[in-house]
Amino acid sequence: RVSEAAHFSSYDTLAISAVETKLAGQNVAPEDLKNLVNALETNVRKEMSKYFKNIISAGEIPAGSKAVRLDLSLTEVKPTDVAMNLIVGFGAGNATASVEGRFIDARNGRELAAFMDRKKGSPFTKKEFDAGAKFPNWSELRYLYLFTEIWAENISNIVKSNR
């Protein structure tokens, strides 16, 4: 959902909060979860650089700046279970992950947009299908990294559509 007050062209700074993993991570090693969070932050920064002059950490927001804060949370992270896919089939062991987020006006605390998305690993979009050459066996964490790229693009589209 996007507020009528969401006009991202009036902001020059995006302040990204540390990605939360409040419900995610039960199915992955802490190091893998950390790498996944880093991939999400990197991909979001890359996409957002198209629309914001400055991209900073949320703790660095200068007083009086025209900043919007982006809060992100991974709420589900389950890597591909190759054995389950081979034994049971029907995508029973597909990677699954969910992200939630919101854009907040840093000056007044007003929510500008909120979103959530859940991805399940199967080549159901052209991007995922085309990535087959990049990730030939779709094992373990590879789908999860692809999800971070797709989410970054989708988040970027929220900004692009509301400029």
- Give me the tens of pLDDT residue by residue for the chain, a chain 163 residues long: 898 878 999 999 999 999 998 766 567 888 888 999 999 999 999 999 999 999 999 988 888 889 999 999 999 888 776 666 556 656 666 778 899 999 999 999 999 999 999 988 754 455 555 555 554 444 467 778 888 999 999 999 999 999 8
CA contacts within 13 A on the Cβ side of 146 = 28
Name the nearest CA neighbour of 91 among 103, 73, 109, 78.
Answer: 78
Phi and psi (nearest 5°) for 151? -60, -40
pTM for the model stands at 0.83
CA 20 to chain centre: 11
